Chains A and B, each alone.
Chain A
Amino acid sequence: MRLWGGHGRLRHQRLQTILTVAALATAVALPVVLLSVGGGVSQHELNDLENAGYQIVISAAGLHGVANAHALTDRILAIPSVTAASPVLSVAIDVFLGSGAAVPSLAEGVIPDQFTPTLGPTESGLFPAHLPLGDPTDELHYANGTYAGPANYSILVSSPFAQAYSLSVGQSVKLAPTANDSQAVAYNITGIFGVPLGTLGEVGAFALLLPLSDLQVMTGYAHGPGVPVPDAADTLEVAVTGAVATNPTALNQVRNEIAALVPYYGVSTLSQEAEQLQTAASVLTGFYLALSSVGLTVGLVFLALVMMRRVESDRRSIGVRRALGLPARSIVGRVLLQSVVVAGLGAVIGVVAGILLVEGLATWATGAVQEAAQLAIFVPLTLAELTGAVLVLSLLAGGSAARAALRLDLAEALR
């Protein structure tokens, strides 16, 4: 016995089946990609939070929005149980090498002796124990609201960057906030640091570390449009003593003390950050599912139409079965089985195609797309639920066709 229609209609029905399977596979592949990549990125960020060496983070609404970073660091360090307060300014800059070509890179400005204690166990192994960036407090260059002292002009270069351009300690490179060579200032490479390549693409791994004040002056985030000095940073990460870090009540108390100092900034513990991240991930997952449901709905409507069409073209066979006295459940079961088989094929192919697509992006894509694809997580339960949902919905799609099959006028169908 063959499942699909008669000999004469076989080719036509096969084409319909292939198109329906393709539509459903496409509709299923989309949520597979979105959920696996979205889930992977969220999980990666959660892992980063769990492995961080700090417990409280201060952030501002705008880009580079934390002002008076050096002074704020001093005030926070004055709070008992705070062991480190590290402002971080991240800016995209251009690096000019010997050839004169500008290489885009990510520069992070830090206060050396505050930065190292806020690194997590994984990251801390990638950096020298004491960053060779000159003044560990970054106060020689910057002090009391002025940038009067001599800049150190020292930088650390990430190992992929150093490897890609054969850079080594002792060499000099020029840095500029834009691709304009005339603004570039020479810096000495005083160290190399590692990056976890598994989670970063090649360009993302081209990173530099330099004193906060040097980066502020070079990029203009030392100076506001008027006289006031912004002394800008993006975030300020705060580490506390072990006893406080493991005591949620005590940690929250420190957070409140910091919040009292900077009521206009966001101050949150990492567990709060994690909750926010999970909430955001849930919202995104809901959005992905809503987006995917559009494709799935179209696919299932297509399936319903094809099943109706199939009942119409098989009306004589269905009429004969009913005329012979075959029970309704047999007629209905046959239509539903066809619907489920088509949907099941579409779902399985869609899942496989989604996985292959993500794997392909992780291998052959570039930049952020590749990085995100490399973080993708395929949860078997989610994939099974997705497939199950398609199968259940295919019963609805086939149900309307089965109902039509039972309502066929027998005399008409056999005429």
Chain B
Amino acid sequence: MTGGVVPTVELRGVERTYESGEADEVRALRGVDLSLPPGEVVSIEGPSGCGKTSLLNLLGLLDAPTRGEVRWDGRSVGGRTDRERARLRLERVGFIFQRFYLLPTLTARENVELPMRALGTPRADRQARASALLAEVGLAGRERAFPHQLSGGEEQRVAVARALANQPGLLLADEPTGELDSENTEAILALLGRVQEERKATLVLVTHNPAVAGRARRHLTMRDGRVVGDARGA
């Protein structure tokens, strides 16, 4: 497995508005301009409801902007079909969701295998890789456990392993260590850092944890749907 090519991601004048009730609408993002060159490690901070998750969804092609443009490798993704966007997500994006979102009917290993299976990775290869990833996040021997049999921290680690399954070029993590103790937080951050280093992947971390944000080399601050701070340095 060679993994997905690391994309250059750009947002130009992006706005995202959600319908809320009959007449109300929520402006989650307001005129966001952002460029993420390959290999960047970025943290996004800000209060709840400031648009962090909405921004992450747009970066990872889970959502489309109400206005503005999202570009990958200099090309707008607005005109791409659902199928093309799904393929880009599968091959090039790794998501770590805030609430893990493991599939409850699959074991830990099957959850990790899922993206590889969709990509057509041979069974033996994906099983071996899934087991290796689970071992890397400290879950060796827990491959056959279903999500309801795992603790919150274990679920989060499975979610991290799943995000790394297809060796993505763009890793999007929404509070990736929210359920972990300090020891496991350190282990997961080390793993993410190693993957980022090896592949020169782009890593975007949404976090309230200073320890996590401290791993980033670029720090975005958001408020009321806008990027109000963009600082560099550890």
Q: How far is the CA of A68 from the CA of B88 in the complex (A)?
A: 92
Chain B neighbourhood of A330, CB < 8 A: 118
Q: How far is the CA of A188 from the CA of B90 in the complex (A)?
A: 94
Q: How far is the CA of A321 from the CA of B105 in the complex (A)?
A: 12
Chain A neighbourhood of B118, CB < 8 A: 324-327, 330
A326–B114 touching, CB < 8 Å: yes
CB distance from A311 to the nearest CB of B (A): 15
Which residue in A7, A325, A411 is a CB contact (below 8 Å) of B104? Answer: A7
CB distance from B179 to the nearest CB of A (A): 17
A1–B107 touching, CB < 8 Å: yes
A3–B103 touching, CB < 8 Å: no
In the complex, per-residue mask of A315-356: 1 if CB is within 8 Å of any chain B CB, else 0:
011011111111110100000000000000000000000000
Q: How far is the CA of A320 from the CA of B111 in the complex (A)?
A: 11
Please tell me if B63 contacts chain A, counting CB pairs below 8 Å. yes
B89–A324 touching, CB < 8 Å: yes
Which residue in A3, A6, A323, A328 is a CB contact (below 8 Å) of B82? Answer: A328
Q: How far is the CA of A325 from the CA of B117 in the complex (A)?
A: 11
Please tell me if B110 contacts chain A, counting CB pairs below 8 Å. yes
Please tell me if A18 contacts chain B, counting CB pairs below 8 Å. no
In the complex, per-residue mask of B76-107: 1 if CB is within 8 Å of any chain A CB, else 0:
00000011001111110101010001111111
Please tell me if B217 contacts chain A, counting CB pairs below 8 Å. no
CB-CB under 8 A for A328 and B62, given A5-B104, A5-B105: no
Chain A neighbourhood of B62, CB < 8 A: 323, 410-411, 414
Q: How far is the CA of A319 from the CA of B86 in the complex (A)?
A: 12
A324–B90 touching, CB < 8 Å: yes
Please tell me if A4 contacts chain B, counting CB pairs below 8 Å. yes
Task: Give how many A residues have a beta carbon under 8 Å from the other chain's beta carbons.
Answer: 25
Chain A neighbourhood of B102, CB < 8 A: 320
CB distance from B169 to the nearest CB of A (A): 13
Chain B neighbourhood of A12, CB < 8 A: none
Chain B neighbourhood of A320, CB < 8 A: 97, 101-103
CB distance from B144 to the nearest CB of A (A): 11
B54–A325 touching, CB < 8 Å: no
A414–B89 touching, CB < 8 Å: no
Instruction: Give residues of chain A (1-30) contacting chain B, Cβ–Cβ below 8 Å.
Output: 1-8
CB distance from B24 to the nearest CB of A (A): 16
In the complex, per-residue mask of A373-411: 1 if CB is within 8 Å of any chain B CB, else 0:
000000000000000000000000000000000100011
Closest to A406 in B: B82
A414–B101 touching, CB < 8 Å: yes
CB-CB under 8 A for A325 and B86, given A410-B62, A414-B62: yes
CB distance from B88 to the nearest CB of A (A): 7
Closest to B28 in A: A411
A325–B89 touching, CB < 8 Å: yes
The winner among A6, A325, A414 for most chain B CB atoms within 10 A is A325
CB distance from A26 to the nearest CB of B (A): 29
A325–B97 touching, CB < 8 Å: no
Beyond the given pairs A328-B83, A410-B57, 13 more chain A to chain B contacts, judged by CB atoms under 8 angstroms and listed by A's residue number, are A1-B105, A5-B104, A7-B104, A7-B147, A8-B148, A319-B101, A320-B97, A323-B60, A323-B89, A325-B88, A327-B90, A410-B62, A414-B57
Which B positions have Cβ atoms within 8 angstroms of A? 54, 57, 60, 62-63, 82-83, 86-91, 93, 95, 97, 101-107, 110, 114-115, 118, 146-148, 162
Which A positions have Cβ atoms within 8 angstroms of B? 1-8, 316-317, 319-328, 330, 406, 410-411, 414
Q: Which 4 A-B pairs rank lowest in CB-CB distance, beginning with the nearest?
A: A325-B90, A6-B104, A325-B89, A411-B63
